[in-house]
Homo-oligomer: A and B are copies of this chain.
Amino acid sequence: MKRSLALSRVYQLLEPGPVVLLTTARDGRSNVMAMSWLTMLEFAPPLVGCVVSNRNASFATLKATQECVINIPTDDLATQVVGIGNTSGRDIDKFATFGLTRQKASKVTAPRIAECYANLECRVVDTRMVTAYNFFVLEVVKAWLDRSCAHPRTLHHQGWGTFGITGETITLPSAMP
């Protein structure tokens, strides 16, 4: 169902600010964390800046492998998103615990999450801000989108398990990307 998306359109998925699920893998083990602190930095090639705290198990894996996948869930996965955010991959296999399906990525070792409507395969391209802010700069090298999900009800975290859900969509005349 998911097909390749032009890299120049990736910003349209992340600019609205949805919660995402970040997957990493090392030595045959994969993990997933919930993340809301990310922003676009450049349109093309798409660059994404994100905070992965050094308290997260994913931090060491991301630093070592320099690879990850950004997966975008919709509100049918809200329970899993909160569960993932409240547990650690040091203790459990989050894929098994939360019933998520690993899908092979094409350019990175980290898995894609089948249940998410979009998957962005990423490589770390700048670690200069990691010491100061745990801030990684990622380049999206391959993007996948389920086009049957025309108006994704994405989750936007307001803290402590409260999420705004994207409802109505409006379009106004604009010459700006």
Contacts and interface: CB of A to CB of B under 8 A. Distances in A.
A174 interface: yes
Given A39-B51, A49-B39, A160 B174 contact: yes
Contacts of A133: 41-42, 47, 49, 137
A141 to B, nearest CB: 18
Contacts of A78: 170, 172
Given A12-B158, A17-B36, 11 more contacts: A15-B36, A17-B18, A38-B39, A39-B49, A41-B135, A82-B174, A156-B166, A162-B169, A163-B171, A163-B172, A164-B169
A162 B168 CA distance: 11
A16 B164 contact: yes
Contacts of A50: 39
Number of copies: 2
Interface of A: 9, 11-12, 15-18, 36-42, 47, 49-51, 75, 78-79, 82, 85-86, 126, 128-129, 132-133, 135, 137, 151, 154, 156-177
B39 A156 contact: no
Given A37-B40, A41-B133, A170-B75, A86 B175 contact: yes
B159 A163 contact: no
26 contacts: A12-B158, A15-B17, A15-B37, A16-B156, A17-B18, A17-B36, A37-B39, A37-B40, A41-B51, A41-B135, A42-B133, A49-B133, A82-B172, A85-B176, A86-B174, A151-B164, A154-B164, A160-B174, A161-B171, A161-B173, A161-B176, A162-B169, A164-B167, A165-B166, A165-B167, A165-B170
